[in-house]
Amino acid sequence: MKHKILFTLLLLFGFALQGQVEGITYQAVLVDNNPGEIPGVDVPANSVPERDITVRFSILEATGDITFQEIQPTRTDAYGTISLTIGQGEQTAESIVVFELINWDGPKTLQVDIDIQGGQNFIPFSSQPLTYVPYVRHRNLIADGVTNLNNDFYVNNESQALLSGDLIVQQDTRVQTFTAFEESNFNGRVTIEAPMATSNQSDIDAYPLRITGSDHGMAIELNDRNPERTTNFVSFWDGNGTPVGRIEGFQALTDVSQNFILEVLFSNEPDVDEAKEQEDDDTAPPAPAPDAFDIYLNNDYGFNLLIEYIDLLEASATFGWNLGACIGGLAVLGDCDDAAWSFLSLIVQGVQLSLYIDYHDTNVGVAFESGGADYAEWLRKADPKESLTFGEVVGVRAGEISTRFTEADRFMVISRNPIVSGAMPSSGQEHLFKQVAFIGQVPVKVLGTVNKGDFILPSGNGDGLAIAVPAGALRLNDYKRIIGVAWEEYNGPEMVSYINTAVGLNTNELALELSKMQLLLNRMQDHMSTLDPNFEPEYFDINAISVSGDNTSAASRTPSQQMMQQYGLDKGNTADKLKQMQAIMQAEDQATPNFSFAQIPFLEEVLANPTPENIQKYTERNEKALEKLKGMMARARN
């Protein structure tokens, strides 16, 4: 009798996930369509119990190509039932990918073949479309359009999510590994919280954010066109949320407009007659600045620029008063030295204002702010096993340091928190070196009472401690041992205290001693002159200083004095001086790139026609502008 055996499908497409086993559950009953006859009973088929068979599962693409194929040997139970999990069998060579990497996007077909003889005689049993995929742990997720996720999105177990369209996530997204092969834009805040396996600062794997693959590291572009000291490129906080440092902007305004500044300051000012008619209230505050002027009031560079304008307006008003006194009191032919000097002061202020703008235009960059207050360098320890801590005094011999050196080339201090450290040792060699303060402020361990201004010297005991010595008590051999100058005092019960000390700034101490020696030598030469009439003394000039090549002057000439000498404005009558002033203004306008004296309201008119009316108008306008500017700046800082 020929028997035909087939599968009856009971359950397909169940999702299995137990003990991290992934797959599609499959159940069927094996029946025999040629059953034995039973008298009086019509039996269409009997189950096939306890029989070894082999099942082959194939997942096909819409094109009919096999994506995945496996075989699973099994045995029917007492009722002819088999229960399998697709994805847990032996993968065949026909498979393109493993089951875990099947791309479920697009239509799929499940083809089932069976072999009841235990060999390779598979016969087709069924071919059915997979209209619903219960397998939710996709290894590849491809979205060709806009994808909206209104809840958390997890990609785990080294899976991939391939997005060719937009991904919009309205809540948290947690990704174990995220790789972006093209440009990525983040329009909101990005927080990286990544506990690292190592904290070794020399290990690149200790850093949560790592940038590789290009010749440059990271670029930061701020919205502010003129980042200054209140605009930070990078800021640093400790674990308690306390700010400990920052890299801030240091840039001037790029569009300084002298015309605009003067227009704002001199605008809406009535002339002399109008002022008398209106009977202005002198106690009324100046009008507020226009919005466009805020950039000068709310920017450190702009605010300091306006301080320069205050000096300019004060000099301009002073010139008006002195010129008015000259013209009104001594007439055009009178001597008006005060007017000449105040005019030169006005020119000097304009030149300095231009210099301020020019310097900041060419010197831009960033500023480093930190709690550290010194520049340090790593110096090698003479004894690698010596333990050194901040504030300890060390002697330096040929670049090596130790607290035990009582005689040394110089004495320095171990730094606590340098803002910059130089001569960084190689990785793994840090224990052989220590950071030593070269310049700035650093705490020093000092014995006993300390007064501000005391010189800090090593104790001389090779114990890493220092002593404080008043300036008047220094001995000649002390000068080469000076560590720094105390900038704070201590008179408490403790034997040792940390004293904030300025180091690397001590250039005047030996000069004081040299002055004493020169004075002594001068006195000795005086005495020798009385003993020997033929002796010609050569005295040291202990009072004068060298300024501008003039070794006899105790102070340099002021900029106004130098201009007076340059232009000869101290000569001639008032009419000649006014013409010279016009020539000076024109010459300085050509030489000064960032400021034009011709743009100062009424200045050219006053110089060309110095009538009492013009001078009064010029003076009052400058005084009003000065008052207005001071008022705006005061309000901006309150």
Region of 200 please: left (phi>0), alpha (psi -120 to 50) or beta: beta
Between 82-86, 166-170, 340-344, the lowest mean confidence (pLDDT) is in 166-170
- What is the mean pLDDT of the segment spanning 9-20? 45
Q: Is residue 248 one of the residues assigned to a domain? A: no
Q: Is residue 532 one of the residues assigned to a domain? A: no
Give the span between the Cα atoms of 436 and 412, in whole angstroms: 7
The most confident of the ranges 172-176, 270-274, 287-291, 505-509 is 172-176
pLDDT above 50 (res 281): no
pLDDT digits (tens, 9 = 90+) for 535-548: 888 876 655 444 44
- What is the mean pLDDT of the segment spanning 318-339? 73
Enclosing H/E stretch for 431: none
| Cβ atoms of residues 167 and 149 within 8 Å | yes
Quick one: how far is CA 38 from the chain centroid? 92
The pair phi, psi for residue 61, each rounded to 5°, is -80, 175
| Cβ atoms of residues 21 and 88 within 8 Å | yes
Q: Give me the pLDDT at residue 99, please.
A: 87
- What is the mean pLDDT of the segment spanning 531-535? 84
Between 17-21, 403-407, 563-567, 604-608, the lowest mean confidence (pLDDT) is in 17-21
Say if residue 460 is in the same domain as residue 563. Answer: no
- Coil, strand, or helix at residue 613? helix
Give the span between the Cα atoms of 492 and 488, in whole angstroms: 13
Say if residue 114 is in the same domain as residue 186. Answer: no
As to burial, measured by CB atoms within 10 angstroms (0-12 exposed, 13-18 middle, 19+ buried), residue 139 is buried
Give the residues across from 392 on adjacent strands.
Answer: none
pLDDT above 50 (res 155): yes
| Cβ atoms of residues 392 and 413 within 8 Å | yes
- What is the mean pLDDT of the segment spanning 273-294? 52
Q: Could you tell me the pTM of the whole model?
A: 0.52
Closest CA to 411 of 463, 359, 454: 463
Q: Is residue 469 one of the residues assigned to a domain? A: yes
Say if residue 14 is in the same domain as residue 123. Answer: yes
**Domain-terminating residue out of 105, 129, 153:** 129
Q: Is residue 54 one of the residues assigned to a domain? A: yes
Give the span between the Cα atoms of 181 and 164, in whole angstroms: 12
How large a percentage of the chain has pLDDT more than 70? 73
Q: Which residues of 416-444 are buried (b: 16+ CB within 10 A; e: fewer)?
A: bbbbebeeeeeeeeeeebbbbbbebbbbb
pLDDT above 80 (res 214): yes
- What is the mean pLDDT of the segment spanning 356-360? 76
Closest CA to 387 of 418, 428, 429, 432: 432
Count of the separate structural domains present in the chain:
4
Between 171-175, 320-324, 485-489, 514-518, the lowest mean confidence (pLDDT) is in 171-175
Q: Is residue 407 one of the residues assigned to a domain? A: yes
Say if residue 301 is in the same domain as residue 385. Answer: no
Closest CA to 405 of 424, 430, 428, 379: 379
Q: What average pLDDT is seen over the chain?
A: 78
Q: How confident is the model at residue 554 (pLDDT cuts 50, 70, 90)?
A: very low
Give the span between the Cα atoms of 264 and 524, in whole angstroms: 67
Which CATH number does the domain housing residue 421 bear?
Answer: 2.40.300.10
Q: Read off the tokens for 145.
A: 């359009």
Q: Which whole-number Å values give the CA distances from 414 to 33, 381, 424, 475, 544, in the listed order?
A: 96, 11, 15, 25, 39
Say if residue 39 is in the same domain as residue 81. Answer: yes
Q: Give me the pLDDT at residue 19, please.
A: 44
The most confident of the ranges 47-51, 118-122, 489-493 is 489-493
Say if residue 21 is in the same domain as residue 71. Answer: yes
User: Which ranges constitute the DSSP H helices of 469-611?
Assistant: 509-531, 559-567, 574-591, 603-608
pLDDT above 70 (res 17): no
DSSP 258-318: HHHHHHHHHTT---HHHHHHHT--TTSPPPPPPGGGHHHHSSHHHHHHHHHHHHHHHHHHH
- What is the mean pLDDT of the segment spanning 87-106? 88
Between 84-88, 275-279, 400-404, the lowest mean confidence (pLDDT) is in 275-279
**Domain-terminating residue out of 506, 528, 545:** 506
Give the residues across from 229 on adjacent strands.
Answer: none
pLDDT above 90 (res 420): no
Say if residue 382 is in the same domain as residue 493. Answer: yes
Between 83-87, 89-93, 593-597, the lowest mean confidence (pLDDT) is in 593-597
pLDDT above 90 (res 301): no
How large a percentage of the chain has pLDDT more than 90? 23
Say if residue 390 is in the same domain as residue 488. Answer: yes
Give the span between the Cα atoms of 386 and 401, in whole angstroms: 10
Which CATH number does the domain housing residue 115 bear?
Answer: 2.60.40
Q: How confident is the model at residue 229 (pLDDT cuts 50, 70, 90)?
A: low
Q: What is the dihedral of CA 300, 305, 307, 309, to 10 degrees?
A: -160
| Cβ atoms of residues 599 and 625 within 8 Å | no
Q: Is residue 527 one of the residues assigned to a domain? A: no
Say if residue 209 is in the same domain as residue 279. Answer: no
Give the span between the Cα atoms of 386 and 378, in whole angstroms: 15
| Cβ atoms of residues 16 and 23 within 8 Å | yes
112-117 contacts: CB < 8 A, separation 24 or more? 112/7, 112/55, 112/56, 112/57, 112/58, 113/55, 113/56, 113/58, 114/7, 114/53, 114/54, 114/55, 114/56, 115/53, 115/54, 115/55, 115/56, 116/5, 116/51, 116/53
The pair phi, psi for residue 163, each rounded to 5°, is -120, 115
pLDDT above 60 (res 175): yes
The terminus-to-terminus CA distance of the chain in angstroms comes to 109
- Coil, strand, or helix at residue 82? strand
Q: Is residue 377 one of the residues assigned to a domain? A: yes
pLDDT digits (tens, 9 = 90+) for 559-577: 777 777 777 776 767 777 8
- What is the mean pLDDT of the segment spanning 242-254? 71
In the 8-state DSSP scheme, what is residue 479? G
The label of the residue with tokens 């990525």 reads 184
- What is the mean pLDDT of the segment spanning 125-129? 84
- What is the mean pLDDT of the segment spanning 111-119? 81
pLDDT digits (tens, 9 = 90+) for 386-410: 999 999 999 999 999 999 999 999 9
Say if residue 409 is in the same domain as residue 451. Answer: yes
Domain housing 276: 258-363+558-637
DSSP 323-377: HHHHHHHH-TTS--HHHHHHHHHHHHHHHHHHHHHHHHHH--EEEEEES--EEEE
Say if residue 347 is in the same domain as residue 457. Answer: no
Q: Is residue 550 one of the residues assigned to a domain? A: no
| Cβ atoms of residues 398 and 272 within 8 Å | no
**Domain-terminating residue out of 129, 156, 191:** 129
Say if residue 65 is in the same domain as residue 149. Answer: no
- Helix H, strand E, coil C: the string for 308-321 is HHHHHHHHHHHHHH
The pair phi, psi for residue 47, each rounded to 5°, is -70, 160
Enclosing H/E stretch for 496: strand 496-503
Instruction: List, in order, residues 6 or more apart from 551 with CB less than 8 Å away.
Output: 541, 544
